[in-house]
Structure 1
Amino acid sequence: MDGELFPREPTEIAPGAVHVPDWLGPGRQRELLAACRDWARPPAGLRTVRTPGGGTMTARQVCLGLHWYPYGYARTAVDGDGAPVKPMPGRLAELGREAVAAAYGQPPPPGACELPDADPYRYAPPDADADADADADTDWCADPCAYDIALINFYDGDSRMGMHRDAEEKSGAPVVSLSLGDTCVFRFGNTASRGRPYQDVRLRSGDLFVFGGPSRLAYHGVPKVLPGTAPPWLGLTGRLNITLRVGGLGTGPD
């Protein structure tokens, strides 16, 4: 925020989890917001996510690259209009790499994209897209740390996100989170449970949060959004969160 007595500094919240305040400048924020508005339009646009228990998430979502649904990935909006998912833009994938370099001071080291072979919390996507996957070119990208999935969540003033882990991917590459619009309380926890210990971090418009390494499978959530805190020049009511991931699922772009 302009005029602060003490500028906010990058902070390691937990091993491998780094908060970089004000990483996106006004120009980049406006550019991303305009792109999000395009991606949110149908087909395969912004939708309400329904959980297997019959509930609904209060934050609405649109996906790029692969479509996330509880709890797996598909090539089509299987819990929406069924349309093919929009491709992951190259500029967004590159932004993911830039973000990791900014948070850690360098790109992820060799082996950083690997998860343990046995992970009881990783869900396997169902077989609905088995035929499509069989025809996929699994060598589409030589870089195993290329960001190929984006989940874009829109929060209005009453929206929140419960504690959860990003565990459907087969890659251990760091998760990149970008914030636009209203400030939120971001709760970053531990890898063992949804409860304490955890830390609450305020993420403002333009902030970057990256978590990988020992914190890659940490529970995290958004218990509160602070309405009316978005910068006036952005022209956004509510909060947009752009989460970039490396799937490691062997399903590249069509």
Structure 2
Amino acid sequence: MLFDQLPRDDARITPGVVHLPGWLPLERQAGIITQLRDIARDVAGTPLAMTRPQLKSGQMQVFMLHLGRMWATNPYRYVTHAGGVRVPPVPDNLLQLATEALRAAALYDESLSQWPATFRPDMALVNYYPPGATMGMHQDRNENSPAPIVSLSIGDEALFRIGGTENRNKPWDDVTLASGDVIVFGGPKRLAFHGVPKTRPDTLPEGCGLKEGRINITFRQVENSH
């Protein structure tokens, strides 16, 4: 583990943030990786290809694949098409997985408990972290819905950091995310700054579907349910 002193039991980290370690079994992880590879192959060579986005601050370290909707820049917004190509839908099994994970997390936090019955994720962002890659502190603030964010990790261990809603400054809560872990944040932490300041290469479990690096799937409900 990156930080052995950090807990590995199901836990509410802080109001609005719940960690479910080892929630997804290894064989299901491998199946999802195979599924995502197939989608990535289908969109290769199109405007939806899995690439490292170029931001004003420079090129990101992670590769991104969009499902359901695409995160576009200048201005930041969600779109359903890019270059005339429709963004591939979020597979039904992943939609079900996200809802199941939220239901499990809601047992530990009252601010999440209102959401499982109405949660309708319509977008999944797949981030591939090459060995040692990181992601800076940021907010997920372009969604119209205040529904929680559900995030699944597969592959190498990562340090997930979540702070306040006003800026990137301390205090932070740090959580080690291993393969199969889920973290959910919503309620008072829905717009919290969060990031991945460290990943640990060569810590993925055999059989997870990856040979190196880390996949993070972030499920979001962009539009309000009707």
TM-score between both structures, scaled by the size of structure 2:
0.86
Native 8 Å contact 1:66 1:74 kept in 2: yes
Native 8 Å contact 1:144 1:248 kept in 2: no
The equivalent position to 1:243 in structure 2, one of 213, 218, 222, is: 218
The answer to whether residue 53 in structure 2 is matched with residue 57 in structure 1 is no
Equivalent position of 1:99 in the other structure: 101
1:10 is matched by which residue type in structure 2? D
Alignment of 1:1-254 (within 5 A): 8-43=8-43, 44-51=48-55, 53=56, 55-70=58-73, 71-77=76-82, 83-105=85-107, 108-110=112-114, 145-236=119-210, 237-248=212-223
2:177 is matched by which residue type in structure 1? L
Native 8 Å contact 2:27 2:207 kept in 1: no
Against the structure 1 CA distance between its residues 243 and 95, is the aligned structure 2 distance closer, same or farther, given a 3 Å change threshold?
same
Q: CA deviation at 1:104?
A: 1.3
2:101 is matched by which residue type in structure 1? A
1:154 is matched by which residue type in structure 2? Y
- CA distance in structure 1 between the aligned counterparts of 2:41 and 2:224, rounded to whole angstroms: 26
1:14 is matched by which residue type in structure 2? T
- CA distance in structure 2 between the aligned counterparts of 1:153 and 1:83, rounded to whole angstroms: 20
2:34 is matched by which residue type in structure 1? A
Q: Percent identity?
A: 43
**1:212-235 residue CA offsets vs partner (Å, 9 max, x unmatched):** 111111100011110000002224
Helix, strand or coil for the counterpart of 1:61? strand
Cα-Cα RMSD: 2.5
- CA distance in structure 2 between the aligned counterparts of 1:164 and 1:244, rounded to whole angstroms: 16
Helix, strand or coil for the counterpart of 2:165? coil
Aligned residues: 214
TM-score between both structures, scaled by the size of structure 1:
0.77
Q: CA deviation at 1:11?
A: 1.4
Helix, strand or coil for the counterpart of 1:41? helix
Q: CA deviation at 1:54?
A: 5.6
Helix, strand or coil for the counterpart of 2:13? strand
Helix, strand or coil for the counterpart of 2:126? strand
> 1 or 2, which has the higher strand percentage?
2
